[in-house]
């Protein structure tokens, strides 16, 4: 199994430049506005794979660059 780096909500917020509360709201209202998440079995903890966040940023930054 490869080395899997999981990010916390606070770490994701720092990377995206958003508050944790804004990310929580986006998860409920507009799930496409945040990278795909994982929920650890038996917990309410949300985590994000660093590789998924990198891929999501690459696609979404390109979309913004084309529109801007």
User: For residue 4, what pLDDT is reported?
Assistant: 86
Q: Looking at residues 42-54, what average pLDDT do you find?
A: 95
Specify the 3-state DSSP secondary structure of 65. helix
Residue 1 counted as domain residue: no
Residue 58 counted as domain residue: yes
User: For residue 47, what pLDDT is reported?
Assistant: 96
Treating both helix axes as pointing N-terminal to C-terminal, what angle do 50-67 and 9-16 enclose, rounded to 10 degrees?
A: 30
Residue 62 counted as domain residue: yes
The model's pTM is 0.82
Residue 46 counted as domain residue: yes
In tens, the pLDDT along 5-43 reads: 999 999 999 999 999 999 999 999 999 999 999 988 899
Residue 65 binned pLDDT confidence (cut-offs 50, 70, 90): low
Residue 57 counted as domain residue: yes
Q: Which domain holds residue 14?
A: 6-67
User: For residue 39, what pLDDT is reported?
Assistant: 87
The number of distinct structural domains making up the chain is 1
Contact 23, 14 (CB under 8 A): no
């Amino acid at each position: 199994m490869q080395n899997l780096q999981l990010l916390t909500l606070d770490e994701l917020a720092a990377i995206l430049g958003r508050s944790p509360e804004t990310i929580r709201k986006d998860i409920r209202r507009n799930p496409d506005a945040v990278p795909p998440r994982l929920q650890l079995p038996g917990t309410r903890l949300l985590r994000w794979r660093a590789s998924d966040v990198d891929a999501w940023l690459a696609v979404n930054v390109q979309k913004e660059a084309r529109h801007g």
